[in-house]
Amino acid sequence: MVAENNGREARLARQFIAAALVAMAGISSAQAQDYPVRTVTVIVPFAAGGPADITGRIVVDIFSRHLGQKFVVENVVGAGGTVGALRAARAPANGYTILSGHLGTNALAPAFYPNLGYDPQKDFEPIGLTAEYPELLVVRKDFPANNLKEFVAYAKSNPDKLNVGHAGLGSVSYIGCLLLHSAIGIKPTMIPFTGTAPVLNAMLAGQVDYECDPVLGTLSQVQAGNVKALAVAAQKRSPLLPDVPTSHEQGLPQFDIAPFYGVFVPSGTPQAVVDKLADALNKGLNEEAVQKRLADLGAESVEQSRRGPKALADLVKSESARLMPILKAAAEK
């Protein structure tokens, strides 16, 4: 009798563990084949209206059209995007919570947060690169400098007066200006916001002096003359702003950054789901209308060989290895 009970208990325990494992994975292989059968949340870890949000909405549009299901953006902001990234890392690995992350959240965050709560390389499965945009140094309209040389001279003689807006420690706007500041040798006041869309508003209101942001963030306001772009942080000028010289042309090649934006799912997501998302993203990026939209935002086109999970995993690794030491040195200066 006791042996019979023990046998039944062991069987129940095994069934319980199996059910718990399926629940943890969040999806069975049959469900993975049918994916997606309900609305999918795409976490954008920064405020609405900025580069991350605009890029995340392009991703949502691609997935919705190619996978025949509703995909929606949820802006989960805070701590340079790491609040949203952590939420995505801890979500069930079932494809129903996706992260539209970037160089900061998915590669460099550990340089800034010793207790991050997730490992960008272990806790996420890459889906694919969406876009890369060079950053711009943009100052308020009445800032007393019209090029990088004048900016450096002003910044060096007025370091205490400068207010820099950024999207939080470890965000790409933070990282961009960190590279700029370390090249110049200044440490101005860095003011965190939940994204660079609110930074731009503060700059338009004259409350912030400047920011370093991927080109799409300020493009229309630069073109309208409401803020001034002093430098493209790249070797090549942007075709959208042909009159804005690069940092290299202006003698500050260390200010060079074109952060990637990409799609990630929690580690352990079934391969069938990863494949479906990667395929849909690839198809979307092949569309002429999507390519035009990204080009109009200042992105360089992502050629086929740089698409997909493996290429994004490699990019995360190589950008981490390349930039971590530079950032650590810049932060310690």
Judged by the rule CB under 6 A, the positions of this chain that interact with ligand MLT are 46-47, 50-53, 81, 104, 167, 171-173, 195-197, 214
SS3 content of the chain, % helix, strand, coil (to 5): 50, 20, 35
Helix axes 172-184, 308-332, angle to 10 degrees: 40
Q: How far is the CB of 238 from ligand MLT (least distance, A)?
A: 16
Greatest alpha-carbon pair distance for the chain in Å reads 89
State which residue, 41 or 173, has the beta carbon closest to ligand MLT.
173
State which residue, 132 or 269, has the beta carbon closest to ligand MLT.
132
Q: How far is the CB of 54 from ligand MLT (least distance, A)?
A: 7
Q: Among 57, 62, 59, 51, which residue's Cα sits nearest to residue 287? A: 62
**Contact call for residues 47 and 53 (beta carbons, < 8 A):** yes
Q: How far is the CB of 276 from ligand MLT (least distance, A)?
A: 26
Residues 31 and 28: their CA atoms lie apart, in Å, by: 5
Q: How far is the CB of 43 from ligand MLT (least distance, A)?
A: 13
**Contact call for residues 55 and 115 (beta carbons, < 8 A):** no
Residues 218 and 212: their CA atoms lie apart, in Å, by: 10
Cα-based distances in Å from 267 to 36, 126, 130, 253: 18, 9, 19, 37
Three-state SS at 59: helix
Q: How far is the CB of 288 from ligand MLT (least distance, A)?
A: 25
State which residue, 164 or 311, has the beta carbon closest to ligand MLT.
164
Q: How far is the CB of 53 from ligand MLT (least distance, A)?
A: 6
Sign of CA dihedral 247, 253, 254, 260: positive
